[in-house]
Structure 1
Amino acid sequence: MTILTLTLLLIGCKGGDETTDDSNTTDTQETGEVDLVALYAAAVADAAVADTDEVYDQLIAINSGNTSLDFDAEGRVLVVTWTSWDGYDSGVGADTTVGVDVWVTTTPEVQTMCSSLDLDADALTLRLEQHLGLPSGTGKDRFVQLRVHPDDLFRPSPDPEVTDSVASLDFPAEVSQTHKDWIDGLMASSYGEGGYPWTRLGYTYDWAPGANEVGASEFVIRSGSTVGVDSVQSLAEYCP
């Protein structure tokens, strides 16, 4: 089912047309807020059912042959996470151990996208939330670039391999039970109230009206990995 169909089912009809100018303004604002909620809910419901025709074969592959990526002398690739957590701020230029799984994209995919948009800060923030499959109003306000060894990354998909450009819907024969349990656990918590439109196909769900649903290629840094904190930037700095 498409997100448009689901949205039409979720939004419902606004009754009555005999309103004052002030009421029309209020109704328009409220409708906009409701539409965002409905669009996001539709995305979550749609993502819960992954079909083979949604498999995308042009995911970003993390390997030495991909010249669009930024590798340092140690072979660590540059990735970015969008966050509201300030714990990285004082650690720029140093290594740190991440205590949780950290969801990231590779540099410069998101930066290229957001820098191309002529939007004010609020509109750009919403567009990024949509592109990255996040609910509106997350409060995320900084982009943290990290250096990470590719071996410490996996795709949040049954097929965790990061070196190729497609993620299968099925678990490969050699995948670990730990990864299977991680996927199953996240599936159990992702698609209800307060959930996320997690595609399980290696890309974020872009829930903006008119978008084709394929957002950014996403990866996860394993909890316990050591990363280098390359930079911390505001929205204005990262998306000039």
Structure 2
Amino acid sequence: MKFLLIFFAWFFIVEELMSAQQLTLAERYEFAVKDAAIVKENSISDQLWIISPNNIDLVWNKDKTQLLVVSWISRADFDQYLNNKTILESDYKVFTLWVTAVPQIRKFCNKINNLSVSEMELRLKQYLGLPHDHSADLFVEMWVTPDSLFRPCVDNEIIDNQCQVSIPEGFLETEYGKYFQHLYFDSFRSQKIAWTGLGYTYDWGNADSKVGASEFILKPGSSYQINVEQRTRKYCSNKL
């Protein structure tokens, strides 16, 4: 009897996995959105990138007052919100800039550089927790100060390697707490984006781990200096 129960359990697991493999991209992403919406203790990652001069993986200027970050956006958004400017839009409801620390994306790009442009763009969208039909074709690197960055999670400091799940008492009444609610309800759940709220992107293209890149937000009204802007294929061809 015990053997039969194990057999049937295994059978249904295999059947479920086979069904998941046959899902369309839209259906797979819908599953990712639903999964990301439920924040669990076992979803916490302790491998988030730390923003500190002591982190030798980061790219700093000579006096280590600024570091390189990168955002993958559309040419239209670049022209409207970033190009020929040095100050970010001050209203986060108008434009919010999500970034990762250089060279995390470059490292990932080097692993998928053998793919076609369309395959590469899809894999990047998966890695960054974006829907398959998301519009992005330009990588923009910029110099920013560490204090202009924060992690989009309950505890938003950038000097540790993980985010907490529990919400402190009174958090939702704070200015940042209200902003966090806006991110969660208005920007993401209404638009059905797979946002973890745990400091990393939801990688819906990796069967082994959903932990993608460590993500940050550039504070509204922050100063920045563009280092380079390149099309996806060219940026991903850059050697480390």
**Normalising to structure 2: TM-score of the pair?**
0.80
Choose which of 122, 136, 158 in structure 1 pairs with 2:118. 122
Residue 9 (structure 2) aligns with: none
Q: How far has the Cα of 1:73 moved from its partner?
A: 3.4
Counterpart for residue 80 of structure 1: 70
Distance in 1 (alpha carbons) for counterparts of 2:189 and 2:140: 29
Contact 2:72 2:137 survives alignment (8 Å): yes
In structure 2, runs of 5+ residues without a counterpart are: 1-12, 90-94
Aligned to 1:198: 195
Structure 1 residue 82: deviation in Å? 0.2
How far, CA to CA, are the matches of 1:60 and 1:237 in structure 2? 25
CA distance in 1, matches of 2:208, 2:229: 29
Query: In the TM superposition, what is the alpha-carbon distance from 1:187 to its structure 2 partner?
Result: 1.6
Please say if 1:225 is aligned against 2:222.
yes
Distance in 1, matches of 2:48 and 2:186, equals: 25
Deviation at 1:101, TM superposition (A): 2.6
User: Who is 2:184 aligned against?
Assistant: 187
CA–CA distance in 1 between the matches of 2:100 and 2:167?
22
Separation (CA, whole Å) in 2 of partners of 1:199 and 1:179: 17
Deviations 1:60-80 (A, max 9, x none): 000010011011135111000
Conserved? CA contact 2:29–2:204, under 8 Å: yes
String of CA shifts for 1:99-151, please: whole Å, max 9, x gaps. 03310000000111012212100000000000000001222111000111111
Shift of 1:89: 7.5
Q: 2:190, 2:178 → 1: CA distance?
A: 22
Distance 1:44 1:136 in 2: 13
Q: Secondary structure at the match of 1:53?
A: helix
Q: What's the secondary structure of 1:226's corresponding residue?
A: coil
Q: Structure 1 residue 171: deviation in Å?
A: 4.2
Structure 1, unpaired ranges of 5+: 13-30
Give deviations 1:26-72, integer Å, cap 9, x for gaps.
xxxxx97x610011000000011110111101100000100110111
Letter in 2 for 1:46: D
Give the 3 Å change call, closer, same or farther, for CA 229–184 of structure 1 in structure 2.
same
Distance 1:221 1:166 in 2: 18
Identity over aligned residues, as a percent?
34
Q: 1:122 to 1:211 in 2, by over 3 A?
A: farther
Q: Which residue of 1 aligns with 2:136?
A: 140
Is the 2:141–2:226 contact (alpha carbons within 8 Å) kept by the matching residues of 1? yes
> 1:237 and 1:173 mapped to 2: Cα distance?
47
Counterpart residue number, 1:62: 51
Cα deviation, residue 97, structure 1: 0.5
> Residue 82 of structure 2 contacts residue 88 of structure 2 at CA under 8 Å; is this kept in 1?
no
Residue 23 of structure 1 corresponds to: none
RMSD: 2.5
**Conservation of the 8 A alpha-carbon contact between 1:156 and 1:219:** yes
* Displacement of 1:170: 2.8
